[in-house]
Structure 1
Amino acid sequence: MRFLGFLVALLLLSLPLKAQPLVTADWLASQAKNEEVRIVDVGRTSAEYLTAHIPGSAFTDYKKDGWRIERGAVPDVMNTVPALETLLGRLGVSAEKHVVFAAPGQSAYDMAAATRLYWTLKMLGHEKVSVLDGGLAGYAQMKLPLESGPARPAKQAVYTARSVFGLDAMLPEVSESKLPLVDARPSDEFLGINKSDKVLRPGTLAGAVNLPLVWMTVDGKGAFRKQAELKSLFAYAKVQSDAPMIVFCNTGHTASLVWFVAHELLGNDQARLYDGSLAEWTLSPERPLMKIVK
């Protein structure tokens, strides 16, 4: 009987541990020699990366490396699967690796670079992916090891995606959907007072409610709020955290952070991200917008 218990314990230990959506700086530092963990520095310039970065981390340029492209006059939508497979392989990422995205951590906006790439990998069917809570700012604040100079040569990997459905929402679905719509932009853009250069008209989708991404992190910086506090903020914004929803913004960047909170931190597998967001929606003057402040 003891032998059977020993075998069961051994089997459980041999099973791969499920990656947590958020990892701490301490945990990440402890994985420095783990070849199965691939840290990807995102949201900074190459000059900033060369100055200081987490040991062994790869660098990717969020804006230039091809994570997001213009398609049919819609800016910053997810690139094609073959292009993303090539990009990930170049970074030394295989489908089996545990990928941790490390953003600067200076603001909720730069943390959204990490959550956007997190969503992208989930769309590719990647199982082990995490975001560094607090970002590089939190890591450095703990006086954990950093290194400077160019990235260590990455061993080229072959990445094979397996597309996952149900994490994104497409234009026809948004047009016809009766699901709750959650606008993750700042309140001035939600109200129609100001607009981004990425959209053609001010306003928001009819019936949408506002849940700004800066509410999701402590003081609008790099550390995510605790689950109970996040649920309270969703409730205050009149968003049912465990119900179906479509989250949008201007281009699917800031919305990815609210999606990450709803889907990954609060466990709502019915939360979806509208990739094209208002940049796509406003291309047609026939699509209605709600302008709250006229």
Structure 2
Amino acid sequence: MKQILFLTVAWLAVASTTVFAASTTPLVDTNWIKQNSCKPGIVVLDIRNQLDGHSKMDYLRGHIPCAVYSDYMKDGWRAKVNNIPGMLPPLPQIEKLIGSLGIDNNSHVVIYSAGTNALDMGSATRVYWTFKVLGHDDVSILDGGYAAYTTDKANKIQTGMNQPQPKTFVAKFRKDMYPTEADVEKARKSGDILVDNRPNDQYMGVNRTATVKRNGTIPGAKNLPESWLTDNNGGQFRSVAELEKLYKNAGVPLKGEEINFCNTGHWASLGWFVSSEVLGNKQARVYDGSMTEWSADPKLPVEQKIKVD
């Protein structure tokens, strides 16, 4: 009888763990975060930074209860690799950063940024994508970010610093999620869908950022600007129905091989997140080097649709 009872308890423990893992969704709302932010096994990660006009001081003045802080722009989420800025850091470096935040391979990580516009939601999607590339699927984003949470004045705000207990995080790099420059050129020649998630003026070749050497885009790429993907370019993602209409308008299929790119892989992570995690196209990938790497190689073609003297 004791053996039967033991087996039953063990089965229930496994079953409850399985249900919890299966319940992880790409997006969570403020009701979910209120109920779960301080539960064991959940790490809420505040990544507000200078891109959204915030800093660590804003975190100290107020954050979601039990959230830990990491500055997306300053703490090492991205690195210069082969002279290309903003790339995925070497694995030992990113493992150390993640572990220092009290995150191990059993943690459910919930990320939030300020929630002001598509640009800062790209910080959340970039960190989310980083976890996915490192083999960690138990990760979510707070839809609408901190702005959505603080809309309801009844929601509790915590001040001061939550100092996490360091843990060990071991990456399992998913090479299939990380196309190289050569992979992108092969995909281009094969006619696979390439999606430029930059603003239209950069896609057309009218303007470029400081890190990009040549105006224009990868030949054959479709343009699906990052500002289309959130509601009125705010902090909340558009509905599936709205996104499907926008994808159709941009000429981007909802299924099939897809590589998202931008200047340095920030906006591209937003495009990838919508394609892969919201619309369910698991064949979507991010080209990390994006136009900064592509335009620096004179052997690779760049299409400038409008030439300005």
Matching of residues 205-224 of structure 1 within 5 Å: 205-224=218-237
Does 2:69 match 1:59?
yes
C-alpha separation in 2, matches of 1:244 and 1:175: 14
Amino acid across the alignment from 2:267 = T
Identity among equivalent pairs (%) = 39
Alignment match, 2:4: none
Cα deviation per residue 1:136-161 (whole Å; 9 max; x = unaligned)?
Answer: 00111122111222x22211111111
Alignment partner of 1:181: what SS?
strand
Matching of residues 71-90 of structure 1 within 5 Å: 71-90=81-100
The one of 207, 216, 232 equivalent to 1:194 is 207
Alignment match, 2:163: 153
Alignment match, 1:3: none
Pick which of 279-288 and 88-97 moved more.
279-288
Alignment match, 2:5: none
Alignment match, 1:92: 102
- Indicate if the aligned counterparts of 1:74 and 1:280 stay in contact, CA closer than 8 A: yes
Q: TM-score, normalised by structure 2?
A: 0.90
Q: Give, in angstroms, the shift of residue 71 of structure 1.
A: 1.1
Cα deviation per residue 1:195-220 (whole Å; 9 max; x = unaligned)?
Answer: 11121111000001100111110010
Alignment partner of 2:150: what SS?
helix
C-alpha separation in 2, matches of 1:274 and 1:200: 17
Cα deviation per residue 1:169-213 (whole Å; 9 max; x = unaligned)?
Answer: 110011121211100000011111111112111100000110011
Q: Evaluate the alpha carbon distance shift between residue 14 and residue 278 of structure 1 in structure 2; reply closer, same or farther with a 3 A threshold.
A: closer
Alignment partner of 1:282: what SS?
helix
Does 2:50 match 1:46?
no
Q: Give, in angstroms, the shift of residue 14 of structure 1.
A: 4.6
Alignment partner of 1:76: what SS?
strand
The one of 23, 29, 38 equivalent to 2:34 is 29
- Indicate if the aligned counterparts of 2:37 and 2:67 stay in contact, CA closer than 8 A: no
Name the one with the larger helix percent: 2
Matching of residues 1-294 of structure 1 within 5 Å: 10=12, 12-15=15-18, 16-18=20-22, 19-44=24-49, 45-143=55-153, 144-149=155-160, 151-177=161-187, 178=190, 179-294=192-307
Alignment partner of 2:175: what SS?
coil
C-alpha separation in 1, matches of 2:163 and 2:276: 34
- Indicate if the aligned counterparts of 2:178 and 2:288 stay in contact, CA closer than 8 A: yes
Cα deviation per residue 1:81-113 (whole Å; 9 max; x = unaligned)?
Answer: 111110011100011100011111001000000
C-alpha separation in 2, matches of 1:13 and 1:158: 24
Alignment partner of 1:166: what SS?
helix
Q: How many residues matched?
A: 288
C-alpha separation in 1, matches of 2:296 and 2:48: 28
Alignment partner of 2:273: what SS?
helix
C-alpha separation in 2, matches of 1:93 and 1:265: 25
Q: What's the RMSD between the two structures over aligned residues? A: 1.6
Gaps of 5+ in 2: 1-7, 50-54
- Indicate if the aligned counterparts of 1:43 and 1:114 stay in contact, CA closer than 8 A: no
